[in-house]
Chain A
Amino acid sequence: MLADCLPHQAAKERLPAELQSALTLTIFEAKGLEFDDVFLFNFFADSPADDRTWRVITSSWARSRDESPTDTAAARERERASGRERCSERASAADVADEAEGAELSIEAPRPESFDRQRHSLLNEELKMLYTAMTRARVKVVIYDQHEEKRRPLFHYLLVKARAADGY
């Protein structure tokens, strides 16, 4: 894409004019407001928390899964045998794009990071930010993020939880 090749400085000068038509707010600015649709852009990529901190979420999920009485031992055994835990989702993949129709959106479980309240204290604020951002929407939330490692723990968590609730 042409714009990608532009030197940073030139793009910097051009950009604000281009962006004028899409309302762009920071989460702080949007606090207390509501919109029909919220497009959350690079929340994880621009997060001050690193991917290890985000992976604490996976350890929480793994713990709840192991404690869950509804999970049969056989299913867990199968998961262990396959070497990785996957969750997949069919319904919303069709919404994502024409090309994705019929394809399964699956996210591999990231490696869990054990929780340390001191070291991972950033996560508190980060989760509240995410909650605040998501709850601005009346109709739709679309989360798009370019940092695969950082986004994956939460994406995976939401997908498994939603699948458990038969949502996705």
Chain B
Amino acid sequence: MCVDKNALFFTGDTCQTIARGVGFRFEDLTTMFFQLGEQQRKELSARGLRPDDMPKRALVQVPRVNQLSVNYRTHNGILGAASQIVSLLLELFPHSVDALEKDVGHFNGPLPTLLTDTSKDDLSILLCGSDPQHSQIEFGAHQVVLVRDQVRGRLRSAQWRTLSAQWTLSAQWRTLSAQWRTLSAQWRTLSAQSRTLSAQSRTLSAQSRTAEDCEGLAHADSRLRSSCPL
């Protein structure tokens, strides 16, 4: 795959290995490189060579692991809750994730909101409320509803249907007004283009008249020539 085995670069977060049946840790990767290095050393000594005789690049080395501990995406409210989940993973399945330092954000923020006593009516007020203080989410392009499974998430819950209808109204309004803005912008572009086009068409017809005139002239000229025997 790669001639220089030391030139590989890996990046990832082992807590996010959610594909079924796939798991890896950076700890396992470094172990793999260590074993490759050991194997190479054995092969070299079998050929009567010492590692020092080899160019440094040709030797498999154990890669350095750098942990990125600053989270630039989000704040410490969400990161704190997420790190509690990582603690659970480390405690229950210690061989499943890398033990890393907790990552920190640049600023503090609200913890995840856990809705417990919220009825579906409250929920729709909460989510679609006109008051931005109490509205948890105004659905737009920067918001997402995460579900387990697209079909089940969309089709199975009656509550979801009701909610989505209510969101749809407010979201549709936003979409409509956005579309209106786009349309009026497009209209402006179109009318500008149409002005350009009619100007062009005027130029063209003028040109065509000129061409016709020229043609007429040529015709007249030829007629003139034919009628005037030299």
Interface string of B117-146 (1 = CB under 8 A from A): 110101101110000001011010111111
Interface-forming stretch among A19-27, A69-77, A78-86?
A19-27
Which of B16, B97, B159, B167 has a CB less than 8 Å from the CB of A146?
Answer: B159
Contacts of A97 in B (CB 8 A): 118, 122, 125-126, 134
Contacts of B4 in A (CB 8 A): none
Known: A41-B145, A95-B134, A128-B18. A105 touches B117 (CB 8 A): yes
Q: Are B154 and A19 in contact (CB under 8 A)?
A: yes
Shortest beta-carbon distance from B54 to chain A in Å: 39
Q: How many angstroms between the C-alpha atoms of A140 and B117 in the bound complex? A: 19
Q: Are B164 and A18 in contact (CB under 8 A)?
A: yes
Shortest beta-carbon distance from B186 to chain A in Å: 21
Q: Does A109 contact B (CB under 8 A)?
A: no
Q: Does A62 contact B (CB under 8 A)?
A: no
Q: Does B91 contact A (CB under 8 A)?
A: yes
Q: Are B125 and A4 in contact (CB under 8 A)?
A: no
Which of B109, B126, B160 has a CB less than 8 Å from the CB of A139?
Answer: B109
Contacts of B89 in A (CB 8 A): 124, 127-128, 131
Interface string of A17-43 (1 = CB under 8 A from B): 011111111111111011111111111
Q: How many angstroms between the C-alpha atoms of A36 and B162 in the bound complex? A: 24
Interface-forming stretch among B57-65, B70-78, B200-208, B221-229?
B70-78
Interface size class on chain A is 35 or more
Which of B118, B142, B149 has a CB less than 8 Å from the CB of A36?
Answer: B142
Which of B74, B92, B149 has a CB less than 8 Å from the CB of A137?
Answer: B74
Q: How many angstroms between the C-alpha atoms of A162 and B78 in the bound complex? A: 11
Contacts of A96 in B (CB 8 A): 113, 115, 117-118, 122, 126
Q: Does B150 contact A (CB under 8 A)?
A: yes
Known: A132-B18, A144-B115, A168-B111. A26 touches B139 (CB 8 A): no
Q: How many angstroms between the C-alpha atoms of A133 and B172 in the bound complex? A: 26
Known: A127-B88, A137-B78. A22 touches B134 (CB 8 A): no
Shortest beta-carbon distance from A12 to chain B in Å: 5
Q: How many angstroms between the C-alpha atoms of A33 and B193 in the bound complex? A: 38
Enumerate A100-128 residues with CB–CB distance to B below 8 Å: 100, 103, 105, 107, 115, 117, 120, 123-125, 127-128
Q: How many angstroms between the C-alpha atoms of A51 and B118 in the bound complex? A: 21
Known: A39-B127, A97-B134, A134-B81. A26 touches B117 (CB 8 A): no
Contacts of A145 in B (CB 8 A): 115
Q: Are A37 and B161 in contact (CB under 8 A)?
A: no
Contacts of A4 in B (CB 8 A): 158-159, 161-162
Contacts of A31 in B (CB 8 A): 16, 18
Q: Are A143 and B115 in contact (CB under 8 A)?
A: yes
Q: How many angstroms between the C-alpha atoms of A145 and B146 in the bound complex? A: 12
Interface string of B164-192 (1 = CB under 8 A from A): 11011001100100000000000000000
Interface residues of A (CB under 8 A from B): 1-4, 6, 8, 11-12, 14-16, 18-31, 33-43, 46-47, 56-57, 60, 92, 95-100, 103, 105, 107, 115, 117, 120, 123-125, 127-146, 155, 157-159, 161-162, 165, 167-168
23 contacting pairs across A/B (C-beta < 8 A):
A4-B159, A15-B155, A15-B164, A19-B164, A21-B175, A23-B141, A24-B147, A24-B153, A24-B154, A26-B150, A26-B153, A41-B153, A42-B147, A43-B148, A125-B20, A127-B89, A131-B85, A133-B146, A135-B74, A141-B113, A142-B137, A144-B123, A162-B84
Known: A31-B16, A127-B85. 5 other contacts (CB 8 A): A16-B154, A25-B144, A92-B114, A95-B134, A97-B134
Pairs of residues from A and B, 6 with the lowest C-beta to C-beta distance, nearest first = A21-B171, A141-B112, A46-B148, A36-B142, A3-B161, A4-B158
